[in-house]
Amino acid sequence: MTELFVLIEHRKGEIRDISFELLTCAKKIAEKENLNVTALLLGSKTDQIIDKIKNYAHKIYLFDDPVFENFNSEIYQKNLSDIIKKESPLLTLIGHTAFGMDLCPALATELNIPFSTDCLNLTFEDKKLKVTRQMFDGKLNTHEILRENPSYIITIRAGSFPAVEGNFNAEIVKLSPKETTEPEYRKFVEYIEAAIGDVDITKSDVVIGIGRGIREQENLEMIEELAASIGGVVGCSRPIVDADWLPKDRQVGSSGKIVKPKLYIAIGISGAFQHVMGMKNSDTIIAINKDPNAPIFNEADYGIVDDLMKVVPILKEKILEMK
């Protein structure tokens, strides 16, 4: 049977959630296209990970070696290109993560396999692979058709396929890795943990998130006052940290903090998916933005389409009045 490969992602010995999402996506496609789901697990001391994924796949290809403990795209690429060449799966799914972005384009280019990145969905239509993606700061979606080929590689955006456990009982096939020496031209040195700051935004019931829309650093004061009136903390999207207006530990999003407060107020945030990943599970989401088509309104429960400079000061006054 034709194969559908899923690359399992793990870090510091823990499987990452994207792996279950990829396997869920794979099952959906496999049922429709009559494919065999094979998880590719390159790791070391993998018993725990195998336990967690064995219901999600028909088969697990296990490459067990200490060199796979930490991610190095070069060594992953050498082993993956070998197995993909040998088995020519119809599709290989990789997460659109820091790991996948570093690996997929090089792997697919080496193999001369058509690929697409950051896909939200994919379907085969008349043997052609059609993917759904987003462009222009997430404001528009696209359908794209890939060059016809017996094999494809796709990276999938996190959160696109909520994990649903399968009822497989994967056969585990141990394979000997082709390459287990880390190349001297790219060496993993260490992981460095994020510094711990004075405010932990993940512990607050109310988070006010600010983005590019606040325009000037001096407008931060107005936001701090709003946060004080409601007893919340100020978080932000990436551009605010890039501009050094707030420290990195205030960043909400996939490369920052994941927050789940009772109330999240997004002010001047357009809603790039990296930010949304960090706040979409908040109980109530309010968005204030002047662009009615800003993607953040697709995540919000309540919205105000207006100039934040006009709304925020009045909002603070009204909250203080109602207290």
Partner 1 sequence: MDIIVCIKRVPQTAEAEVSIDSTGKSIQKDRLTFDMNESDTYALEEAVLLKEKFEGNITVLSLGYPDTDDTLRIALAKGADNAIRIKAENFENPDAFQTAQILKSVIKTINFDIILTGCIATDDAYSQIGVTLAELLEIPHAALVIKVDANEQRTHVHRELEEGLIEHLDIKLPALLTILTGINEPRYASLIAIRRAAKKEIQQLGKENIELEDLVINSVIEELYVPPVTKQVEILTGSPSETATKLAGIVKEKGLI
**Residues 83-102 close enough to bind partner 1 by CB under 8 A:** 96-99, 101-102
Instruction: Identify which of residues 89 and 268 has a Cβ nearer to partner 1 in the complex.
Output: 268
d(CA 286, CA 323): 19
* HEC letters along 58-98: CEEEEEECHHHCCCCHHHHHHHHHHHHHHHCCCEEEEECCH
Q: Left, alpha or beta for 138 (phi > 0: left; psi -120 to 50: alpha)?
A: left
For position 302 contacting partner 1 by CB under 8 A, the verdict is yes
Q: Rule CB under 8 A: is residue 260 a binding residue for partner 1?
A: no
Does position 205 interact with partner 1 (CB under 8 A)? The reply is: yes
Residue 317 neighbours by CB distance under 10 Å = 13
- Options 47, 167, 176, 185; binder of partner 1; rule CB under 8 A: 185
Binding characters for partner 1, 19-48, by CB under 8 A (x = yes) = ------------------------------
Residue 227, SS3 per DSSP: helix
Any idea which residue has 């955006």 for tokens? 157
Applying the rule CB under 8 A, the residues between 101 and 160 that interact with partner 1 are 101-106, 109-110, 114-118, 130-131, 133-147
Q: Which of 43, 166, 209, 213 binds partner 1 (CB under 8 A)?
A: 213
Contact between 54 and partner 1 by CB under 8 A: the answer reads no
Give the binding-site size for partner 1 (rule: CB under 8 A). Answer: 102
- Contact code string over 263-282 relative to partner 1, x by CB under 8 A: x------x-x----------
For partner 1, which residue of 257, 259, 264, 266 counts as binding (CB under 8 A)?
257
Contact criterion met (CB below 8 Å) for 259 and 206: no
- HSE toward the beta carbon, residue 308, CA cutoff 13 A: 28
CB of 298 to partner 1, least distance (A): 6
